[in-house]
A and B are shown apart, each in its own frame.
Chain A
């Protein structure tokens, strides 16, 4: 481990130790600066949730009615698995979602299938199952609100949300 990343890791640890709860937004927020070019907790810190979200990619998208992982989704999940294996302090909840085409009940079940597909993939790449929770929001929490395929395709997603660290 080089000096720079060691300092960053220590900074991140200090930041996490300062956290009094598992609020993911607190973890994702910027930490105190001053460790050189790399700001712990910032997107440039490879150990930060912000890096996970933006650089590794926190979400995978699905085809209509499908919960099968596309090759692109598998690539993203491979990156997530590597990150989670390197950052064992973090737990994650995978949130499954559906677009608005479909009944509320069916979409809840479909979102659960999608979240589970992502979870199973991460487990197959070595991430411990007890670090990975799932939940489905069905069509209750779209991120895009237009009623065309352009929006629907972004809403059919499984998002890996880092929920906290074992250091608590």
Chain B
């Protein structure tokens, strides 16, 4: 049966003020297009006793994997190391790291006391011989060691790029198994890198498209458990779900939270016609936002809550439109060839990610919010359903392969179009929703 999430308390203690102070010249400017990944070294963190040995190794491996996984950094193998780091406080031998071309160095130490685990780390700009930012420590339980590793990696990423990280985050998705005509679907949640998968529903009913609340504590999703598609809200911590109010004889699906988490926008189908509605979660009252004979679906809020981007076939084919959050005249933003769907507003507010179907191929793409500067990031038989990393730099999506043995899997791609990678899941996966950075 379902296992409750182990609650994890990660305390954050500054060893010295302030949290972030750029001091060295080491900096990756992400908007300038990173072609050559930045070489870095993460010597195994120093354990302060036998109980910490394995954690120290594992944490340094996860930190390195997080950084390498961005495609922006390249790890230098420990085989090449000249220096050993046997004490966290010993002076760094910069010449030894320069010699192997490591531009960034991450050193750390791990303390384990009972089930309490503390990680300390420092980030070094090797060529200037300066510390990048200040040493920091994270404390939590030993069970939460991966989260602490992700927090360290987020700090390293952020200090070198000047942008927020995304490693200490989770992804909700639909776990898929079985052939296409008998597919079993279960709601699941995992760390962003595919670790710690937890199932939130069984496969008795079709479930679709989980969507995180802004705080990451709830998921909206669509389930056929009554026979009709209806929207549910699930408390992630307690794995407790509740059906949202609905009108008899209608279908509701494609929900998404407003940025303040108090309402949702969703599709409601009545008499074969699908329009957008907004529901206040406290009262359960819904109001209509669109009223056309066309299909309106896949709504997504701007991060400031002022506007909604959605998909409509009012022009004859599915295209993207933006309207005020309370309804009103929409403006069409997609004008390229083909069909556009599933628009999702970037957390930075600057871009819309979408699915595009053209000449028998599917693409994940991004465009500015006025529809300009469209760029296609992927191409395959079937790519769909983009979701943004918390920092707006990476998009995760569903890729389905064709034919009778076709299978769904999760992939991620940088918004530059580089670094396309599969995201490992135990079975097939679809409909990812990338949650916020955890506290």
Contact = CB atoms under 8 A, between A and B. Distances in A.
Interface of A: 65, 67, 100-106, 108-110, 112-113, 115-117, 119-120, 133-137, 140-147
A105 B357 CA distance: 14
B251 A104 contact: no
A110 B295 CA distance: 8
A141 B181 contact: yes
Given A102-B339, A145-B403, A147-B404, 4 more contacts: A103-B298, A113-B272, A134-B272, A135-B227
A23 B402 CA distance: 34
B91 interface: no
A145 B182 CA distance: 10
Contacts of B339: 102
B114 interface: no
A109 B295 contact: yes
A103 B272 contact: no
- Give the 8 A-B residue pairs with the shortest CB-CB distance, closest first: A116-B272, A147-B402, A109-B274, A103-B341, A109-B295, A145-B180, A105-B297, A112-B269
Interface stretch (B156-164, B212-220, B257-265, B380-388): B380-388
Given A112-B269, A136-B229, A145-B404, A105 B251 contact: no
A147 B297 CA distance: 25
Contact of A105 (B209, B317, B360, B403): B209
18 contacts: A100-B382, A100-B400, A103-B298, A103-B311, A105-B209, A105-B298, A105-B342, A106-B298, A108-B229, A108-B254, A108-B274, A109-B295, A112-B269, A112-B272, A140-B208, A141-B181, A147-B381, A147-B403
Nearest to B340: A103
Contacts, number: 101
B109 to A, nearest CB: 47
Contact of A104 (B180, B381, B384): B384
A103 B385 contact: yes
Nearest to B222: A108
B286 interface: no
Contact of B318 (A106, A112, A115, A135): A106
Interface in B240-254: 249, 251, 253-254
Q: Which of B249, B272, B311, B382 has the most A CB atoms < 10 Å from its CB? A: B272
Contacts of A116: 271-273
Contacts of A120: 272
Contacts of A112: 251, 269, 272-274
B254 to A, nearest CB: 5
A67 B272 CA distance: 10
B206 interface: yes
Contacts of B357: 101-103
A102 B297 CA distance: 13
B183 A103 contact: no
A110 B274 CA distance: 9
A145 B209 contact: no
Nearest to B404: A145
B355 interface: yes
A107 to B, nearest CB: 10
Nearest to A114: B272
A136 B273 CA distance: 12
